[in-house]
Amino acid sequence: MAEIRTDVVIIGAGTAGLSAAIYTQRAGKQAIVLEGESYGGQIINTLDVENYPGIKHISGFDFATGLYEQAQDLGAKIEMESALQIIDNGKEKIVKTKENDYIAGAVILATGVKRRELGIENEKELTGKGVSYCATCDGAFYRKKDVAVNGGGNTALEDAEFLTRFCNKVYLIHRRDQFRADVAEVKKITDKPNIELVLNSTIDELQTGEDGKLNGVETVDKVTGEKRVLPVSGLFVAIGQVPSNQAFGDVVALDDAGYIKAGEDTKTSAPGIFAAGDCRTKQVRQLATAASDGAVAALAACAYIEE
């Protein structure tokens, strides 16, 4: 275990974290970015980004790679280590990973969100054996097969539309009779011949075949109580997101849902610790707002160190 000193430690190499790294480096301070999985965050597996100002169309991978390379070229160090704990000693903060202790004057939390799980029996056992949380990552395994998507927001509808391109049939299971998704996303699925809407329904059972893989999803109609088994080999869960800030709840205040309490100035309850991107309390969770938070947090962190 080594002690590594730097100006700013940034936790998370998604859009917010990498934007913060770019602004920290440009302000003349050294940033170390810690990333527990792979750089880029949530957007990495998205095929089409069409609402980032100034870029008409780009894949999520190219977008994330551009940010990563820009941060690295400016001298930011990006380490593939999970941040496990922050010890706040006032003007000195220690971020602990399994491998090292990072000591910095300021910390930016940019931990994003993860997809919410269904929370039903067999889900964990069947993850990777039919149950997936990423259609763009795993969809290709279900070519010409019947699959289901669960959810009613933009991600669920995008996933369903994407899967209709090569799956035999896509059931879209949603607990209400109206979608939360944007009108543009609803329009994209409306006339697809191989999609069936299963509305007002929730999933109450995941069925396992003899091969140990998913072979059916039982739904229950919330209005009639009727149960139905959909014979699918893939289920893509897209029922919202959850933050993963529990490890830092002893140093920064979290709201009831687990988001870090911070306003547009990205300041948390702890001086010198900032929260940027989807991990903080906010209305709009998008790339543009994550990048904006990254810039604000970096400049605030640099100013804090100078105080």
Least Å distance, CB 3 to ligand FAD, is 18
Residue 278's contacts (CB-CB under 8 Å, 6 or more residues apart) are 14, 16, 42, 112, 113, 241, 243, 285, 290
Q: Is 167 a catalytic residue?
A: no
The torsion angle over the Cα atoms of residues 302, 264, 55 and 33, rounded to 10 degrees, is 40
The answer to whether 244 contacts ligand FAD (rule: CB under 6 A) is yes
Please say which residue, 43 or 237, places its beta carbon nearer to ligand FAD. Answer: 43
The torsion angle over the Cα atoms of residues 226, 230, 231 and 235, rounded to 10 degrees, is -140
Please say which residue, 172 or 216, places its beta carbon nearer to ligand FAD. Answer: 172
| Phi and psi based region of residue 206 (left: phi greater than 0; alpha: psi -120 to 50; beta: remaining) | beta
The torsion angle over the Cα atoms of residues 18, 23, 27 and 30, rounded to 10 degrees, is -10
| Contact flags string 64-103 toward ligand FAD, x per CB under 6 A | ------------------xx--------------------
232-248 burial string, b = 16+ CB within 10 Å, else e? bbbbbbbbebebebeeb
> What one-character DSSP code corresponds to residue 31?
E
The answer to whether 278 contacts ligand FAD (rule: CB under 6 A) is yes
Tell me which residues in 160-219 interact with ligand FAD (CB under 6 A): none
Tokens in use for 261? 């309490």
- Count of residues in contact with ligand FAD, rule CB under 6 A: 34
Please say which residue, 146 or 278, places its beta carbon nearer to ligand FAD. Answer: 278
Please say which residue, 9 or 219, places its beta carbon nearer to ligand FAD. Answer: 9
| Contact flags string 100-139 toward ligand FAD, x per CB under 6 A | ----------xxxx--------------------------
The answer to whether 13 contacts ligand FAD (rule: CB under 6 A) is yes
Q: Is 134 a catalytic residue?
A: yes
Three-state DSSP class for residue 227: strand
| Contact flags string 23-52 toward ligand FAD, x per CB under 6 A | -----------xxxx---xxx--x--x-xx
The tally of CA atoms less than 13 A away on the side-chain side of residue 66 is 9
Nearest to 254 by CA among 274, 285, 280, 284: 280
Dmax of the chain from CA atoms?
Answer: 64
Q: Would you say 68 and 39 are in contact if contact means Cβ atoms under 8 Å apart? A: yes
Q: Which of 73, 137, 204, 265 is catalytic?
A: 137
* Binds ligand FAD (CB under 6 A): choice among 286, 299, 304, 305: 286
Least Å distance, CB 279 to ligand FAD, is 6
* Binds ligand FAD (CB under 6 A): choice among 15, 25, 201, 292: 15
* Binds ligand FAD (CB under 6 A): choice among 12, 139, 152, 272: 12
Q: Would you say 90 and 83 are in contact if contact means Cβ atoms under 8 Å apart? A: no
Q: Is 137 a catalytic residue?
A: yes
Please give the residue ranges that form the binding site for ligand FAD (CB under 6 A). 11-17, 34-37, 41-43, 46, 49, 51-52, 82-83, 110-113, 155, 244, 277-279, 285-288, 290
Active site residues per annotation: 134, 137-138
